[in-house]
Amino acid sequence: MHDTSPQPQEYIDLHIHTNYSDGTYSPSEVVHQASRIGLRAISITDHDTVDGIEEAMNAARDLSLEIIPGIELSADDGNNQMHILGYYIDWRNPTFNAQLTELSDDRLNRARSIVDKLNQIGVKIDFNEVMNISGKGTVGRMHIAQAMKKKGIVNTVQESFNKYIGNGRSAYTAKYKLRPGEAIKLIKDSGGVSVVAHPGLLKRQAIIEELIDLGLDGIEVYHTDHKPAAVKKYLLVAAAHNLIVSGGSDCHGLGKDKMLMGTVKVPYDVLERMKIKWTNNENS
Ligand code: AMP
Ligand code: FE
Ligand code: FE
Ligand code: ZN
């Protein structure tokens, strides 16, 4: 007889950072944790790098956990900063990787500049301490914040952003950022699906429509910083503009003072619709 009993809902998390950017866990650790908590699929979405993907895929080989290659690119239109997620990118493509190397080189110079500014205002941290925490992959402000916490200069990572390195604070230095259209194109050109990350954090909501005009494919509806009302709102935005829905916790391991993996409940069918969009992109 056909089994009509309800199947248990399966969940995914399509926004996770590893120690290849500013997460605290290695890709293998992320994979094992995701498997332990029973997730069906995850995406590794490190800032401006795809270097953690291979390790994650290898670690998941014998597990019933799907790994979706991903990335989170920073973009700036001159007045607004935003993050664009890319899924199913051709992460081994040399041209794509060469463009990412330019972004990570700039991050290195910028981290040096932030440390110099901190030293000038009497906050004594050493660039090497930041680089030790950063380890492999891209360096960012989270590593600087963690270095400050480790030295007891601040009690939390958040305090470091609030007092010193948040946008507009005394030790802030901007990094080179792609224009939004460039970020979307970079993802498209490497065969990926582009998704605006945590739109709830955008100061100007009209940005979403501008991104759609630039070829955006989807919107991150489910996110740690989205309350139920925001989720409802962005589901309507997605439906109105025929955008695919995405979601994830934006887990940084213990980097954001607490572990978020799996805390945002994203149903597996979100991924099924994303796969359809990806297949259509490939054939268009
Ligand atoms: P970066 O890419 O180096 O500019 O750093 C971005 C990272 O810093 C992201 O993971 C953000 O979550 C985090 N971040 C940015 N602004 C803040 C803030 N005001 N408070 C806490 N974390 C922040
Ligand atoms: Fe981050
Ligand atoms: Fe982000
Ligand atoms: Zn993120």
C-alpha of residue 139 to centroid of ligand 2, in Å: 10
Q: Which ligand lies nearest to the CA atom of residue 198 in the structure?
A: 3
Distance 252 CA to ligand 2 centre (A): 7
State the pLDDT confidence band at 9, using cuts at 50, 70 and 90. confident
Residue pair 103/51 in contact by the 8 Å Cβ criterion: no
Which tops the pLDDT comparison, 254 or 216?
Answer: 216
| pLDDT band, residue 5 (cuts 50/70/90) | low
Pocket test for ligand 1, best of 46, 133, 142 (most atoms within 8 A of CB): 142
**So what's the pLDDT on residue 35?**
97
- For residue 142, the ligand 1 atom closest to its alpha carbon is 8
The atom of ligand 1 lying closest to the CA of 110 is: 3
C-alpha to C-alpha distance for 73 and 85, rounded to whole angstroms: 6
Which structural domains are found in the chain, ordered by start?
11-91+194-283 (3.20.20.140)
Which atom in ligand 1 lies closest to the alpha carbon of residue 111?
A: 3
Distance 189 CA to ligand 3 centre (A): 21
- pLDDT for residue 267: 96
pLDDT tens-digit map of 93-116: 999 999 999 999 999 999 999 999
Which residue type does 225 have? D
Amino acid identity of residue 34, one-letter, is: A
CA 147-152-154 angle, to 5 degrees, is 80
pTM summary value: 0.92
Q: Is the CB of 47 under 6 A from ligand 1?
A: yes
The dihedral through the CA atoms of 219, 184, 45, 57 has a sign that is positive
Digit-coded pLDDT (tens) for 216-252: 999 999 999 999 999 999 999 999 999 999 999 999 9
Q: Residues near 55 by Cβ (< 8 Å), separated by ≥ 6?
A: 26, 27, 28
Q: How confident is the model at residue 155 (pLDDT cuts 50, 70, 90)?
A: very high
284 confidence band (pLDDT: 50, 70, 90): confident
Pocket lining: 166 vs ligand 1, CB cutoff 6 Å? yes
Instruction: Decide whether any atom of ligand 1 lies within 6 Å of the 22 Cβ.
Output: yes
- Give me ligand 2 centre to Cα 101, in Å: 18
